């Protein structure tokens, strides 16, 4: 379906043309003076110079052409040269009805279906999932859903951090504690046990212990580096132990992400491309892209136009070990081979921006990435506590994601329990609390532009008033309840259809609905879930104005009532679609 703004512009462009002006001047936007008009065109001002005419005169000429338009109920040329426009009820209702009867509200399938890989989540195996990883999961999941909604083939890949020094640290610590384990017996030739020699709780204690010891104990750190090297070079017992670490950790990660309604298509990690590294290094050397520098192997990536220093991309360290870069480059190679993506989008902390600049340049220069493949970095800011510093536990430690979500769920549960709904089962209260808590957290995050730092304020996010997830859910639940009552009164939701707006607030709601397509296109192009949040907030407000100004269930005129119900149903579908794109859902009651 064409966007409503394009339809309106078409009409205005034809009028510019008919009045003897360049039709390109007929561009239209939503009005920034809703007290004066609904849409506006500023083209007369832009044309004044070319036609050596006062803008107001041009605007008047165009307005004269639009006098009998079926699209506009009101056209006015206003000083210094604006065209103020209001659309007819018939035009608007026709448009919104067509949206309501179309798949995805009329959003067309793309001409070229792209393959898009979204690299998000990025947790590190064996380290507890902490709030830093929350943003990547929430934003990435939303971006994935939006791109998929737009009709593309989208693959979400978690890209586990499963190959670095943390593995060597864990193995070293385990060896200190339990040297008798069969994994450390170099002469052992048999099968290794199925069962891991640790639980997730132990694993999560082992890593921080090992990590802090390595910071003061040089010999211990050496051992960990040695263990990492031995693991990467394929020592059987180390590989088997590493498999256990991955399995135990991934089971726990899956549980956590499931609670967050975050779903990955691929659970690949840095280790998956290990075997590709030697081939890649050989290629980079043969083609003359890589050269030695202080014993290390690097690719220069600086460009003449750089205003700041972009250091070379290091491929191998002087001891021959691979780095974070190396696995990222090899992963690009693998993705090109396996998925041939048109785009790869990395949803990562914005502090890694320079790093990704190096990797992208290197992948381009060395042709590891296809010439047509777009590499995009979606960097997000820090989640801060109310004190404006990075979010911590009350004791000042790293906040585990599980603890955070658990606390928020509990708070929400208490709030709902304290409410008037006493006949609801315990289980349902729990379920509802989880849904509302998830909405609070996700909306709180996504409503900020991703690149900005933001303050994680549970109180504010959980409020049922203002620009929050719970407010959106309350609005949805309110609509659901009206629709249920309508059915109880004997109304049939299957037969209602939209009617022209009966008052100004209904018309405003229709105009909000009509703006969906333009909004979703820009949210997709700019990778900007916050645009969906802003849209949801406006839509919820527009509905609530209708709710407070209009009799719905008590309306005596049955046809009018059915028209309102149809408007509510469309609003509900739209709200539900949008919250699904953000990655949460609404309960039946609150
Ligand atoms: N594991 C990394 C971290 O915790 C994030 C991974 C991001 N993705 C990537 N392809 N490098 O910082």
User: How remote is the C-alpha of 158 from its chain's centroid?
Assistant: 14
| Alpha carbon distance 502, 582 (integer Å) | 32
Question: Tens digit of pLDDT for each residue in 471-502?
Answer: 999 999 999 999 999 999 999 999 999 999 99
Question: Tens digit of pLDDT for each residue in 161-198?
Answer: 999 899 999 999 999 999 999 999 999 999 999 999 99
- Whether 124 is in the pocket of ligand 1, judged by its Cβ within 6 Å, is yes
Q: Give the tokens for residue 570.
A: 């469309």
Contact between residue 64 and residue 482 where contact means Cβ atoms under 8 Å apart: no
- The answer, yes or no, to whether residue 565 has pLDDT greater than 90, is yes
- Whether 162 is in the pocket of ligand 1, judged by its Cβ within 6 Å, is no
Please choose, from the candidates 113, 116, 112, the residue with its C-alpha nearest in 3D space to the C-alpha of residue 344.
116
Question: Tens digit of pLDDT for each residue in 347-365?
Answer: 999 999 999 999 999 999 9
Beta-carbon count within 10 A of 439 CB: 27
Residue with the nearest Cα to atom 6 of ligand 1? Answer: 122
Distances (CA, A) of 413 to 258, 431, 438, 456: 19, 9, 12, 19
| Alpha helical stretches, state H, 349-457 | 353-365, 401-417, 426-446
Question: Tens digit of pLDDT for each residue in 322-351?
Answer: 899 999 999 999 999 999 999 999 999 999
Q: What is the mean pLDDT of the segment spanning 80-86? A: 96
| Whole-number pLDDT of residue 242 | 96
Using only C-alpha atoms, the chain has a radius of gyration, in whole angstroms, of: 29
Ligand 1 atom at minimal distance to the Cα of residue 348 = 7
Cβ contacts of 426 within 8 Å, gap of 6 or more: none
| Whole-number pLDDT of residue 386 | 87
Scored b (16 or more CB within 10 A) or e, 292-313 reads eeeebbbbbbeeeeeeeeeebb
**Structure-token match 């407010």, residue found:** 471
| Alpha carbon distance 131, 399 (integer Å) | 6
Question: Tens digit of pLDDT for each residue in 147-165?
Answer: 999 999 999 999 999 998 9
- Whether 135 is in the pocket of ligand 1, judged by its Cβ within 6 Å, is no
Ligand 1 atom at minimal distance to the Cα of residue 324 = 11
Ligand 1 pocket, mutate which of 159, 160, 330, 333 (most atoms under 8 A from CB): 159
| Alpha carbon distance 153, 340 (integer Å) | 11
Please choose, from the candidates 241, 238, 211, the residue with its C-alpha nearest in 3D space to the C-alpha of residue 226.
238
Positive/negative CA dihedral, 399, 402, 406, 412 = positive
Question: Tens digit of pLDDT for each residue in 507-559?
Answer: 999 999 999 999 999 999 999 999 999 999 999 999 999 999 999 999 999 99
| Whole-number pLDDT of residue 164 | 86
Query: How does the average pLDDT of the chain come out, rounded?
Result: 94
3-state secondary structure 124-154: ECCCCCEHHHHHHHHHHHHHHHHHHHCCCEE
- The answer, yes or no, to whether residue 417 has pLDDT greater than 90, is no
| Alpha carbon distance 262, 137 (integer Å) | 7
What is the CA(324)–ligand 1 centre distance, in A? 8
- The answer, yes or no, to whether residue 425 has pLDDT greater than 90, is no
- Whether 122 is in the pocket of ligand 1, judged by its Cβ within 6 Å, is yes
Percent with pLDDT over 70 in the chain: 99
Beta-carbon count within 10 A of 505 CB: 18
| Alpha carbon distance 473, 458 (integer Å) | 16
Beta-carbon count within 10 A of 488 CB: 9
Contact between residue 134 and residue 243 where contact means Cβ atoms under 8 Å apart: no
Beta-carbon count within 10 A of 356 CB: 18
| Whole-number pLDDT of residue 284 | 98
């Amino acid at each position: 379906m064409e966007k409503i703004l394009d339809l309106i512009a078409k009409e205005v462009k034809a009028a510019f043309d008919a009045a003897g002006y360049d039709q390109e001047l007929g561009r239209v936007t939503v009005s920034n003076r809703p007290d004066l008009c609904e849409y506006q065109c500023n083209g007369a001002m832009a044309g004044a110079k070319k036609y050596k005419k006062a803008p107001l005169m041009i605007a008047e000429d165009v307005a004269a052409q639009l006098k009998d338009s079926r699209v506009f109920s009101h056209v006015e040329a206003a000083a210094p040269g604006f065209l103020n426009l209001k659309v007819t009820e018939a035009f608007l209702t026709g448009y919104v009805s067509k949206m309501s009867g179309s798949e995805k509200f009329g959003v067309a399938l793309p001409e070229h279906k792209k393959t898009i890989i979204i690299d998000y989540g990025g947790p590190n195996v064996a380290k507890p999932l902490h709030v830093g990883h929350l943003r990547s999961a929430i934003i990435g999941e939303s971006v994935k859903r939006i791109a998929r909604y737009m009709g593309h083939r989208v693959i979400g890949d978690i890209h586990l951090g499963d190959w670095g020094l943390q593995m060597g640290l864990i193995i070293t610590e385990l060896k200190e504690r339990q040297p008798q384990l069969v994994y450390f017996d170099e002469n052992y030739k048999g099968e290794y046990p199925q069962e891991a020699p640790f639980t997730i709780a132990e694993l999560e204690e082992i890593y921080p212990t090992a990590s802090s010891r390595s910071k003061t104990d040089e010999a211990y750190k050496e051992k960990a580096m040695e263990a990492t090297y031995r693991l990467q070079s394929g020592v059987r017992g180390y590989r088997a132990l590493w498999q256990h670490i991955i399995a135990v950790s991934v089971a726990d990660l899956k549980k956590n992400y499931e609670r967050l309604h975050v779903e990955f298509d691929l659970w690949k990690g840095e280790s998956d491309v290990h075997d590709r590294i030697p081939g890649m290094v050989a290629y980079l050397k043969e083609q003359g892209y890589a050269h030695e520098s202080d014993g290390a192997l690097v690719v220069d990536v600086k460009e003449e136009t750089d205003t700041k220093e972009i250091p070379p991309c290091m491929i191998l360290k002087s001891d021959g070990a691979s780095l974070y870069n190396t696995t990222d480059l090899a992963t690009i190679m693998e993705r090109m081979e396996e998925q041939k993506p048109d785009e790869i989008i990395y949803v990562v902390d914005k502090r890694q921006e320079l790093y990704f600049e190096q990797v992208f340049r290197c992948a381009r220069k060395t042709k590891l990435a296809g010439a047509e493949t777009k590499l995009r970095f979606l960097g997000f800011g820090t989640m801060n506590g109310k004190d404006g510093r990075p979010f911590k536990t009350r004791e000042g430690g790293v906040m585990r994601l599980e603890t955070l979500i658990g606390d928020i769920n509990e708070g929400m549960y208490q709030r709902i329990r304290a409410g008037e709904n006493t006949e609801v089962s315990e289980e349902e209260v729990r379920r509802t609390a989880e849904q509302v808590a998830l909405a609070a957290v996700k909306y709180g995050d996504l409503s900020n532009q991703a690149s900005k730092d933001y303050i994680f304020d549970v109180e504010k996010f959980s409020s049922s008033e203002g620009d929050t997830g719970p407010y959106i859910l309350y609005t949805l639940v309110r609509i659901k309840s009206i629709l249920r009552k309508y059915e109880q009164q004997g109304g049939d939701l299957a037969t209602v259809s939209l009617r022209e707006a009966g008052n100004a607030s209904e018309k405003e709601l229709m105009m909000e609905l009509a703006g969906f397509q333009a909004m979703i296109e820009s949210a997709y192009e700019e990778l900007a879930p916050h645009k969906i949040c802003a849209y949801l907030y406006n839509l919820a407000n527009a509905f609530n104005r209708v709710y407070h100004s209009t009799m719905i269930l008590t309306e005596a005129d049955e046809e009018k009532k059915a028209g309102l119900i149809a408007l509510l149903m469309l609003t509900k579908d739209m709200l539900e679609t949008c919250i699904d794109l953000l990655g949460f859902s609404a309960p039946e009651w609150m």
